[in-house]
Amino acid sequence: MEYLTLTGGVRMPMLGCGTWQLRGEAGKRSIREALEVGYRLLDTARMYENEDIVGQALRESGLAREEVFLTTKLCQTSAGYEAARRDIDASLRALGTDYVDLLLIHEPYEEAPAMYRALEEARRAGKARAIGLSNFSWADYKRLCAACEEEKEVRMKQYLALDIGGTFIKYALMGADGSFLEQGKIPSPVDSMDGLLDAVAAVGERFRGRYEGAAVSMPGRIDTKAGIAHTGGAFGFIQDAPVGELFAARLGCPAVVANDAKCAANAEAWTGALADTANGAVLVLGTGTGGGIVLDHRIWMGSTSAAGELSFLPVQFAGMGKVRMDGVRSEGAERMWAQYASATGLLQAYASRKGIPAEGLDGLQFFAAYDAGEPEAAAALAAFGEMTAAGIYAVQSVLDLERYAIGGGISARPEVADVIRDKLDAIYASIPFTAFGKPEIVRCKYGNDANLIGALRFLLDAV
């Protein structure tokens, strides 16, 4: 499938399925068949009066919401600011989704400037990833630009965000509202500090003169306030390095650096799954168990900038003094939560039940087995859910949080959050005298862009 990158960095499939005149069960069947043969863009509109069956067809397809690009359009009945706001929410309800990928004004109505203001508001609120116009001539477009807040959008402050990982450095030019203006990635140099700084400087050069500050997400124990990276994860050469100063010098602007898991949590606390939650946590289920704790709407750093390092939560207290942490698979590592509450732990649980090596297995292979009805896969997911829920129960006994948002690649499957929620319900049911509240379990809103968004929030809070 070929894609077009829209302003803001949203990738849109070049081939899509239009749904005009598709109604009822026959229409829904046609949409579902389009998804079955590979279409990944569905175009609907208020005017088509079929947003409900488009949403139903998507849900019945079994595809994850983020796999399908949804476009809808506001028509004459949405003319005006308040009417547009009302109908945006009505469209989302009809489609059965929290957001659309592209929200358009269907035609050049006289009230288009007021409608466009509602579209901008919807984008900032996360209800639309991208916004635009349909069936506008060049003259119509120029009239709209002259009448609406387009100039203010152009003058909006811009920032450079970097997500430094062990394989790639992702980057984005972003607006102060968290919108993506441009983005991309380059390979990560993991051999030396000079190589890393040169790569960061090269990204900065691409956007020279276009950003007022830099927001950096990276692995390791990061003192964000002091700008010090005490460790650097895959970047073993980083030890007590003044990364804030180093990045600022190479980019020619103020730079704020934060731990990647805390950035993911900050994104969810800002405009994501924890936005309306005073006290919560993000669990990133990857190679280990990344985490971020939100207390009173802010990321809790801890006294040594290491709060939320949930990989190290003990699940077996006996013998903890004999654990040797020499590497990823150290002696006694089975006493740590990361061995169970992680994508790695899930795959190991499946491999042990199948009697096969875990090396080479990935999440796609596991869920293919799960979807095929393999009992070993079902049992592995249940065991993973039970251990993850048990760890949440332990954390809850100390922090008494309202909500846990589950992230990481495997969280794209709703079964992951579902099994954790079910197993946590079972724990609370079996211990009725539990003194602390049962938290809500939800999926994270943001995926691969979470670290960039959260890093930007750290920068905005600092400046």
Least confident of 108-117, 212-221, 262-271, 401-410: 108-117
pLDDT category at 153 given cuts 50, 70, 90 is very low
Q: Where does CATH 3.30.420.40 sit in the chain?
A: 158-260+450-462, 273-443
Looking at residue 261, its pLDDT comes to 93
Catalytic residue among 48, 116, 393, 404: 48
Annotated active-site residue 48? The verdict is yes
Label residue 337 exposed, middle or buried (CB < 10 Å: 0-12, 13-18, 19+). buried
Report the predicted TM-score, pTM, of the whole model to 2 decimal places. Answer: 0.66
Q: Where does CATH 3.20.20.100 sit in the chain?
A: 3-154
Looking at residue 330, its pLDDT comes to 57
CATH number attached to the domain at 3-154 = 3.20.20.100
What is the architecture, at CATH level 2, of domain 273-443?
Answer: 2-Layer Sandwich (3.30)
pLDDT by residue (tens digit) across 370-381? 999 999 999 999
Pick the closest to residue 159 from 207, 220, 212 (CA basis). Answer: 212
In which order are the strands placed within the sheet that holds 41-43? Answer: 17-18, 41-43, 69-74, 100-105, 128-133
The residue type of 254 is P
Count of CB atoms situated within 10 Å of the CB of 430: 8
Pick the closest to residue 10 from 98, 161, 128 (CA basis). Answer: 128
Looking at residue 4, its pLDDT comes to 82
CATH number attached to the domain at 158-260+450-462 = 3.30.420.40
The total number of residues written for the chain in this structure? 463
Looking at residue 210, its pLDDT comes to 84
